[in-house]
Amino acid sequence: MFDSFIRLVREIYQTNDFIPLHEPRFAGNEKQYLLDVIDSTFVSSVGPYVSQFETKIAEYTGAKHAIAAVNGTSALHVALLLAGVKPGEEVLTQAVTFVATCNAIHYCGAEPVFVDVDTATLGLSAQALADFLAEFAELREDGVWNKLSGKRIAACLPMHTFGHPCDMATLLQVCNQYQIPVVEDAAEALGSCIVGSNSFDPSAASANEFAPTPAKHCGTFGKLGVLSFNGNKIITTGGGGMILTDDDELARQAKHLTTTAKLPHAWKFTHDQIGYNYRMPNLNAALGLAQLEQMPLFIQRKRELAERYITWSRRAGVEIVQEPNGAQSNYWLNALLLNDAGEREQFLTDSNAQGVMTRPLWELMSSLPMYSQCQHDGLPESQRLAQRLVNIPSSVVL
């Protein structure tokens, strides 16, 4: 199994050199747009590429508004603030995620509460969430409260792991029953959609009314959603993020907060609240715009790569993570599920020694020292994934 995997990866990437897990591809207008920014001298957050990039991301995802930020973590921080998360409160999320998810919660002065994930999606389990709320939630006039901790549950934060969409329709149904706002961490999921979904319409007359849609992008289901354009994402701005929302007022506040809460004026510097210097620079946005122009090709090639891995896994008798039913994943990072921790460690050791980068799942957030005291539901599936999962090279093949 191991030898055939190494041969496959080297055949795909056509090199005997080191093969990274995920690296960016620059095959479009990146240099042209960057030189244009340099020539203009508008290299920071004041410049036309920022607004152009926002407009194009909104068009691509179907969101009404997209607000650019310096990275996905800062975008998530502001999105949680706008969702109403306050110090001393709690946010329901998953332990299977990158640490930025929990750090953004902590920046708000709140604390994560960890609920288990689904096997099929690797994302927050709607059933586990429903079970947790049935046991611990108390709905009052001023919100939903955790009967164990005595703290208000301010939001729910699912993360679309490796670009595979969560079961957003069911998650939204559960959260709507308890009047909990949903913020999506779609940092890894640009280009991933739920196809033919029954997506929750918060403006619908009935609290349980769901409207069928042909395809809906990750990051556009909740009250707000967040994207990342870090150097290892499907498209990159070097470092960057984006807040997505259909709410006009939340979009206005997001732009205001990320621009140091400065009131518009030709020369005065007046700020009306504590804001953040989170606005994306024009240089980064120019790079992102050129990358976004290549998204259809990137998605096509990443799905072709995933299919090659799937075909190999069937022959080799290895379990591989595939997109959930009713979803179309961007396959940001492909993942194998090995038999146990011992086989996983051997695979990691041997592949990296052969110059093919592989990595385990992130350490579960509940096991990190700063979050080890946070409440969780036992996380049985999360624990199993942490023992078995290995990410394999997933760069776009041009």
Mean pLDDT value of segment 83-98: 98
SS3 59: helix
What does the pLDDT read at residue 289?
Answer: 98
Contact 220, 200 (CB under 8 A): no
CA-angle at 296, arms to 294 and 300, nearest 5° = 120
Taking only the tens place, the pLDDT of each residue in 108-134 is: 999 999 999 999 999 999 999 999 999
What pLDDT, on a 0 to 100 scale, did the predictor assign at position 207?
A: 33
Q: Are strands 193-195 and 327-328 parallel, antiparallel or unpaired?
A: antiparallel
Span between the terminal Cα atoms of the chain, in Å: 26
Q: Which helix (H) or strand (E) holds 359?
A: strand 359-360
- The answer, yes or no, to whether residue 295 has pLDDT greater than 50, is yes
> Which residues, other chains included, contact 17 with Cβ-Cβ below 8 Å and sequence gap of 6+?
355
Query: What are the chain's domains?
Result: 2-25+295-392 (3.90.1150.10), 30-292 (3.40.640.10)
Residue 211 has pLDDT above 80, yes or no: no
Q: Over the range 83-95, which residues count as b (16 or more CB within 10 Å of their CB) and which as e? A: bebeeebbbbbbb
H/E element holding 228?
strand 224-228
In this predicted model, what pLDDT tens digit does every residue of 322-335 receive, in sequence order?
Answer: 999 999 999 999 99
Which residues fall within 8 angstroms of residue 180, CB to CB, at 6 or more apart? 92, 144, 153, 154, 155, 156
Per-residue confidence band for 1, with pLDDT thresholds at 50, 70 and 90: confident
Residue 140 contacts by C-beta under 8 Å, 6 or more apart in sequence? Answer: none
pLDDT tier for residue 210 given thresholds of 50, 70 and 90: very low
CB 301 within 8 A of CB 283: no
Positions marked catalytic: 233
Using pLDDT thresholds of 50, 70 and 90, give the confidence band for residue 199: very low
- How far is it, in rounded angstroms, from Cα 334 to Cα 285? 27
Mean pLDDT along residues 221-250: 97
Confidence of residue 384 (pLDDT cuts 50, 70, 90): very high
pLDDT at 202: 34
For residue 393, name the pLDDT band (cuts at 50, 70, 90): very high
Q: What's the pTM value of the predicted model, to 2 decimals?
A: 0.94
Confidence of residue 208 (pLDDT cuts 50, 70, 90): very low
Q: Enumerate helices (H) and strands (E) in the chain, giving the number of each.
A: 12, 18
CA 204/CA 182 separation, integer angstroms: 16
Helix (H, G, I), strand (E, B) or coil at 66: strand
Nearest to 211 by CA among 178, 172, 243: 172
Provide the pLDDT confidence category of residue 269 given band limits of 50, 70 and 90.
very high
Pick the closest to residue 243 from 232, 235, 251 (CA basis): 251
How far is 148 from 330, CA to CA, in rounded Å? 38
Answer whether 21's CB lies under 8 Å from 357's CB: yes
What pLDDT score was predicted for residue 46? 87
